[in-house]
Chains A and B, each alone.
Chain A
């Protein structure tokens, strides 16, 4: 599997560390209900098909990426820097 880092270009999957679903970027309001926070922390979709995930270019430039890929075909559809999508 190859992932294209927006900074370094196409690199081998072993340079990257998988963090989890990109839904982690959608933090609830700090005052949100406990159930909302519980869902945010613990509930994950398990799609057969398109998924958006956070990957870290650990053995490269050190950038956090949002990687869109297909869990059925292993195709990488696109990558972008987290900072472009999440100003925090």
Chain B
């Protein structure tokens, strides 16, 4: 049988560096979409605590325990990354494995919000978008989810099919803002 080799969504595209910023691909491990059944949000919160030691994130936030991270991902939806979901979660939530569905990149460097300000119509500076904050928003014309990992890192989730567009848009902004900062 043919031995197939898996390619990551951004294979051949990343990493790149411009100015003080680097853009690299993130391997989140398993990515599972969870949507609590009607009235089951508290039960899902408890099930996540039991199975993975983290709670259900509130809108615009994420929770974390070790390698596991749970990101708010829209109205009554969250995305669990970094761990295989515990079986008990299926009792109170609809689930789908989306591990291969997302291109995930990390923009690292001071003031990454300056780069994304060219592309994203919300304030991503640490003062308005602190550690662990999550936003569903736009990157150019594309819907994305953005997570602040720490003061110097922003993680962007985009559809895998749009990986090349994502990298192109962010890299173009990095080049442009780096040139602007370098100008006398």
Contact = CB atoms under 8 A, between A and B. Distances in A.
A60 B136 CA distance: 5
A18 B152 CA distance: 36
Interface of A (DSSP majority class): loop
Contact of A61 (B74, B121, B122, B138): B74
Contacts of A11: 121-122, 137
> Contact residue range for chain A?
10 to 19
Interface residues of B, number: 12
A8 B135 contact: yes
A59 B74 contact: no
B53 interface: no
A34 interface: no
B7 interface: no
A58 B121 CA distance: 14
B181 interface: no
B59 A15 contact: no
A7 B59 contact: yes
A11 B59 CA distance: 14
A59 B75 contact: no
A12 interface: yes
Contacts of B82: none
Interface of B: 59-60, 74-75, 77, 121-122, 135-138, 143
Interface of A: 7-9, 11-12, 14-15, 58-63
